[in-house]
Amino acid sequence: MAEVKIACPKCDWEPQPSDHWGCTCGHSWHTFDTGGRCPKCGKIWEDTQCLGAWAGGCAQWSPHLEWYRNLDEWLKDEIEKIRTKELTPVI
Ligand SMILES: [Zn+2]
Ligand SMILES: [Zn+2]
């Protein structure tokens, strides 16, 4: 099975585990852990922004699913499950 790689569709920048994205609710988290869904307020980000030049990225927005390379159907389902599951409160 091909390994899934996460990279910006526009510039090929690859997110590091230490990278974080900010939500409009003020929460920041690693967006690829949750399929683009804010774990605090539950907002689903259909598009994900590449981090800016300071992180080596292009700062452009792309559909979240386009970030996954070699994405299999089963993984699409997994991401969909993450996005639609009940929220557990963030401590
Ligand atoms: Zn939020
Ligand atoms: Zn980029």
Ligand nearest to the CA of 24: 1
User: Nearest Cα to 64, choosing from 6, 22, 13?
Assistant: 6
pTM for the model stands at: 0.81
Q: How far is the CA of 26 from the centre of ligand 2 (A)?
A: 23
Ligand nearest to the CA of 9: 2
CA 61 to mean position of chain CA atoms: 11
CA 89 to mean position of chain CA atoms: 19
Ligand nearest to the CA of 48: 2
Q: How far is the CA of 19 from the centre of ligand 2 (A)?
A: 14
Quick one: pLDDT band at residue 78, thresholds 50, 70, 90? Answer: confident
What is the pLDDT, as a whole number, of residue 4? 82
Higher pLDDT, residue 83 or 23: 23
The mean predicted confidence, pLDDT, of the chain is 90
Tell me the two tokens of residue 86: 């009940």
Q: Any alpha helices (H) in 1-91, and if so which ranges?
A: 73-84
pLDDT tens digits for range 15-54: 999 999 999 999 999 999 999 999 999 999 999 999 998 8
Higher pLDDT, residue 71 or 22: 22
Q: Are 50 and 58 in contact (CB under 8 A)?
A: yes
Percent of the chain with pLDDT over 70: 93
